[in-house]
Amino acid sequence: MLVIIMHNNQTYLEILMRLAKKEGILNANIISEKNIGSRLIGSSLNFIYSTGKILNTYNKAFVAATKGESETEQFLNLVNKNLLLEKLTINDKGFICTLPFHYIKSIEMETTKTKEGDKKMQIAKFLTKENILLDIKSNTKNDVIKEIAYTLKKSDKLSDYDKFIKDIFERERLSTTGIGNSVAIPHARTDAVDNFIIAFGRSKKGVDFNSIDKKPAQFIAVMGTPKSKGLNEYLQILAHLTRLLNKDSFQKELLMAENEETVLNLFKR
């Protein structure tokens, strides 16, 4: 789950960072970007909790990854009870929300681009033909995740396959990664990988992922990224993959693809 607090007062945001660290929430960052609300979540109203208004004048945001509702609630209670924070928000209460990872719209910072202006966030550079399944055999969510993840078992970026699966399932228990529109992205930040890894599976008949729109998932990407990587990079990859798989034209081409090389070329394109 994500906690996002938008405010332009740097001191306020730095205090939030100290509170998060004190609570053991280590996956937290301050992101600076013009109109941060639109860049992060667009017009999404799929908040678990929210207060205040998203203003286009907000250019900074505190973003933290929490382990679930209990940790999130505890942190927000500390924020609300902090007297110094209260003084800093007399004129502007800021915008606070909590939401699942997959509602993140975009965090396309300048750091994600090359000097030529091309995005580094190329999913295809992490994907190989060996990590693509075009005919998933399993019928249940957990078995599908295992089937797809198994293609990564021999990856030199994966140091502990069993822990990787365990961390994926732990993340799945917090909230479904079936994001709707036939897409599911089981993922985890984990010490079991040394670098970002991804595997892709296709099920033409679809698999029940307890998706938010109640429809089966046909396009399933299993991904992992090391905890040592910053939260920004993790969200950038997740946001980019989500937008890509949600494109109707891209989905049609994936369904028509007859072999793994075709799928890989689609991601490269």
Q: Is 7 a catalytic residue?
A: no
| Element of type H or E holding 75 | helix 69-81
CA angle 186, 208, 199 (to 5 degrees): 30
Contact 245, 183 (CB under 8 A): yes
Phi, psi of 182 (to 5 degrees): 70, 15
Per-residue DSSP letters for 171-239?
Answer: HHHHS--EEETTEE--EEE-TTBSS-EEEEEEEEEEE----TTSPPEEEEEEEEE-TTS-HHHHHHHHH
Question: What positions carry a catalytic annotation?
Answer: 187
